[in-house]
Amino acid sequence: MDQEKLEGLVVVFDREGYSSELYRFLDGRDKKDKKRRAIFISWAKYADKWVYDIPDEKFEHSVIVTYDIQEVEEVKYFDTKRMMSKYGNIRTIVIESGEDRKRSAIYTNGDEDEIDSNTVIQLICRRWGEENKIKELMIKHFINYTPGYVKEHMAEQPLVDNPKVKKLKKEKAKITSELHKLKVKLTDKLLAEAKDGMNWEEIKKNQIELLADIVTGNNEIFFLDQELDKLPKKVPFDRAHDGKKLLKLNFEKKIFLDCIKVFSCNMQQQMCKILLNYYDKKKEIMPALAMILNRGGYIKLEHGILKVRLRRFKNQEIDYAARRFCEELNLMNPHTLDRFRLPITYEIR
């Protein structure tokens, strides 16, 4: 992705994305240069109570939110800042909407000069429309489904963590833990036996077995470190899994089918725009289009013209819209895609 576009990236998510850790990551606080990764916009969690403590007169600004289907809505808002746990001060926009004057809070790390409050509210209020669009692509157009995935062996196996290194590190951690317990035990005994006049040589003789166990533990760790130094940290996947190789999918087939699906979706949108000129019930435009496209009829070749005749509709509004829709299609001079390139006409009878 172009670096300039990446720097201007805005991510919008709902309350499920509410996370101080995620916000800090998008802020780039883990990076040396502290450069922000993206501007985020999110609904705030746990704001059900304090948003209603704000006086009504604070909501002196408003924005008109437009939607693709539902009617436009006036949303009042109030800009402020809130202290978020494990994040710090965060820009907060409290909105009030609907007849019940329901209030919600929006969090963002974008400054007012980078992304104004109107834009923030428009983006997050219209988010459901975008989410429903994705669901439509997945359910109706099967954008996430490809039949018959083709699997192929990868020419070069990716590197993965060496399982032998992992095993030795686990063994070393166990010995280190046991060694620590022995040292604590020795210290406790030394303090208990230490008396005036008793020298350290006598103490060593009394705890010879415990000291021997400590020395043994140190030696084991020493040899484990030597063995770890000889092993590579990363090895090919097949070497780490007893010859089992990773497979890759043939994505060319999926990309080709996805292009057809996206084209089909875009065509559906264009047909809806045409149909809206003759059918003014915007909320019902998709069912109306489906009724026309799925309508039974006849196909007949007459005088070198392929005629597609749909049965008429009992509903007068749908019948009128369908006839005008066919006229619009005929103005585009459609034809078959075979070598004959026969002209097509659509009509209602």
Q: Identify which of 286, 306, 290 has the alpha carbon closest to the alpha carbon of residue 298.
A: 306
> Last residue of some domain: 240, 263, 289?
240
- State the Cα–Cα distance between residues 308 and 299, nearest whole angstrom: 5
Q: Round the average pLDDT of the chain to a whole number and report it.
A: 84
Q: What is the pLDDT of residue 146?
A: 61
Count of domains observed in the chain:
3
Mean pLDDT, rounded, for 257-278? 88
pLDDT one-digit tens code per residue, 231-242 = 888 888 888 888
Q: What is the pLDDT of residue 1?
A: 46
141 domain residue, yes or no: no
Query: DSSP of 288-310, one letter per residue?
Result: HHHHHHT--EEEEEETTEEEEEE
Report yes or no: 76 and 58 within 8 Å, Cβ to Cβ. no
84: CB partners within 8 A, 6+ apart? 20, 23, 90, 107
- Give the whole-angstrom CA distance, residue 110 versus residue 112: 7
For the ranges 44-58, 211-225, 244-258, the one whose mean pLDDT is highest: 44-58
pLDDT tens per residue across span 67-97: 765 678 899 999 999 999 899 999 999 999 8
pLDDT band for position 253 (cuts 50, 70, 90):
confident
Q: Quick one: 178 and 263 in the same domain?
A: no
In a domain, 25, yes or no: yes
CA distances from 319 to 40, 226, 285, 295 (A): 47, 84, 14, 11
* 73, 97 contact by CB (below 8 A): yes
Statement to judge: residues 19 and 126 lie in one domain: yes
- Asked whether residue 127 is domain-assigned, the answer is yes
Within this chain, do residues 285 and 331 fall inside the same structural domain, yes or no? yes
- Rounded Cα distance between 219 and 12, Å, is 56
234 and 314 share one domain: no
Q: Are residues 293 and 231 in the same domain?
A: no
29 shares a domain with 110 = yes
List b or e across 172-197, with b for residues whose CB sees 16 or more CB atoms inside 10 angstroms: beebeeebeebeeebeeeeeeeeeee
Tell the burial category of 127 from Cβ atoms under 10 Å away from its Cβ (0-12, 13-18, 19+).
middle
Q: What is the pTM of this model?
A: 0.46
Q: 86 with 208, same domain?
A: no
Residues 229 and 173 in one domain: yes
Report yes or no on 246 lying in a domain. Answer: no
Domain assignment present for residue 322? The answer is yes
Are 17 and 106 in a shared domain? yes
* Residue 108 sits in the same domain as residue 202: no
Is residue 21 domain-resident?
A: yes
Q: What's the confidence (pLDDT) of residue 142?
A: 73
Least confident residue range of 10-19, 121-130, 194-203, 263-272: 194-203
Is 178 found in the same domain as 220? yes
3-state secondary structure of 78: strand
Containing 118, the helix (H) or strand (E) segment is helix 117-125
Contact 111, 91 (CB under 8 A): yes
Mean pLDDT confidence for 198-206: 62
Say yes or no to pLDDT of 132 above 70: no
Note the pLDDT of residue 336.
92
151 falls within a domain: no
Reading across the β-sheet that carries 305-310, which strands appear in turn? 297-302, 305-310, 344-348
Closest of 175, 181, 183 to residue 220, by C-alpha: 175
Is 146 contained in some domain?
A: no
Q: Are 71 and 191 within one domain?
A: no
Domain end call among 240, 267, 292: 240
At which of 216, 240, 264 does a domain end?
A: 240
The boundaries of the domain holding residue 305 are 251-348
